[in-house]
Amino acid sequence: MLDKDGNTGEPSEAGGAQSADDGDGGISFEESEFIAYCGANEIDCDEAEMGEESRKDFEKIKQRFMKAVSEKRLVADGTKLVYTVSKFSETAGEKLAISRPRGRDLMAMDGFKDTQQAHKFNAFLASLAGKDKSYIARLDIKDRQFLQDVGILFLTA
């Protein structure tokens, strides 16, 4: 996607991603992508309406999303995400198509005991990414955290 100034977010000659921040208090390309993704999925991202603790948690999710966009590891297109696994995971460079949660994704958590919260959530994340839960278990924490953030966005919406 292009921002309002025609920037693609491609790396500039200085090495960083180009940003849509116009210096007049505008938002960056990365933040506009986050807001567009939330809007397309009917996820409320109005931080003014959040309590302090919720706002802090939400800001962490937003920052990880924006960092993935700026690192060219995330492409958001409407309700769809394509995430490129980081160099820290054994499947580095693999693209994960992350879908909007459906009932089947929530059902993936069935059959686990209440004491198996990590297993339950990994099953949910695996379903979102169209992978087996053992795949999620092998991801580096950076990649698992990103997937967790996407899941939390929907579960708390």
The string of pLDDT tens digits covering residues 112-136 is: 887 888 889 999 999 999 999 999 9
pTM across the whole model: 0.78
Q: 120: closest CA among 135, 110, 130?
A: 110
- Residue carrying the six token digits 């059902």: 107
Q: What is the mean pLDDT of the chain?
A: 86
Model confidence at 11: pLDDT above 80: no
Which of 11-25, 73-87, 89-103 bottoms out in mean pLDDT, i.e. has the lowest? 11-25
Q: What pLDDT does 17 receive?
A: 42
Q: How far is CA 64 from the centre of its chain?
A: 7
Model confidence at 78: pLDDT above 50: yes
Provide the pLDDT confidence category of residue 6 given band limits of 50, 70 and 90. very low
Model confidence at 26: pLDDT above 60: yes
Please tell me the distance from the alpha carbon of residue 112 to that of residue 108, in angstroms, as a whole number: 9
Sheet (strand 95-98) strand order: 74-77, 80-84, 95-98
What percent of the chain has a predicted confidence (pLDDT) above 90? 70
